[in-house]
Amino acid sequence: MNTFGRILTAMVTPFHDDFSVNYDAAANLAKYLIANGSDGLVVAGSTGESATLSNEEKLRLFATVLEAVGDKATVIAGTGSNDTMASIKLTQAAEKLGVHGAMLVGPYYNKPPQEGFYQHFKAIADTTNLPLIIYNVPGRTSSNILPGTIARLSEIKNIVAVKEASGNLEQVAEIVRTTPNDFMVYSGDDSLTLPILAVGGVGIISVAAHIVGNRMQDMISAFKDNDLAKAQAIQSELLPFFRMMFITTNPIPVKTAVNLIGQKAGCFRLPLIPPTSTELDQIKSCLTKMNLI
């Protein structure tokens, strides 16, 4: 495997007004994203409100997205949790559906030591043939998977990538330095996509690509073509939008933006709530300035 793709969009989960999952809208959104800059999709990740989805809902989402775009794009199942045995069972069930890989978030709340991280991910990897992406997001998990631990995990055959959302560019560079050449390092922060490419990353697992996926592809293509001036210009163009997507808790801004551009994303499950009127005005203003609505 060379890559899952340059841009994997961490897809929002559409809901009906009664808070049930809108599977038809999920299929349509998946098709829209693949037609507009995404090489693949991460389904039921944190942007997909995974914390409030049941395993049954997740599995049906995986199957729905696979049916919609699985022959055209990479479909990655969000199967990680802070319960190793539960993660094993969900990963195995997702594998049976035919997903192309699974993403495993660092265990939250437990705050394991580094050896605990290693044993957690190794235990899951030992029970599946799926290629696995480790997801390091200290801002949500309250613990950081250190480069040395990622380097050890990269020696396991089917642990093939990391989504790095620590915000620490030196840490990302150290992971690139200490892992095999074919180990994939993805940015977990839209605004750091270009810097992470510069230190050896392969792409982005993105929130913003719901809205600006084509432009992000332009930026990555310019970088790969050694047109750094163009890549930097697009980064500067998109930076205000990247910031706007995090004016409040993700996925509140992006799900709102998806609705505003005419795609059906629906409402939020508690404890997430709609944006405030001020936040909504800011999101609308940003989309208007970029000629997106």
Residues recognised as catalytic: 135, 163
54 CB-contact burial (10 Å; exposed 0-12 / middle 13-18 / buried 19+): exposed
How far apart are alpha carbons 288 and 281 in whole angstroms? 10
Report the helix count and the strand count for the chain, using DSSP H and E.
12, 8
N residues, the chain = 293
Q: Which of 232, 205, 34, 52 is nearest to 136 (CA)?
A: 205
Helical residues (DSSP H) of 169-251, grouped into ranges: 169-178, 193-198, 209-224, 228-244
List the beta bridge partners of residue 75.
Answer: 41
- For the record, the structure tokens of 275 come out as 């944006």
Cβ neighbors of 195 (< 8 A, separation 6 or more) are 169
List the beta bridge partners of residue 132.
Answer: 102, 159
How far apart are alpha carbons 244 and 27 in whole angstroms? 26
Q: Which of 2, 1, 24 is nearest to 13 (CA)?
A: 24
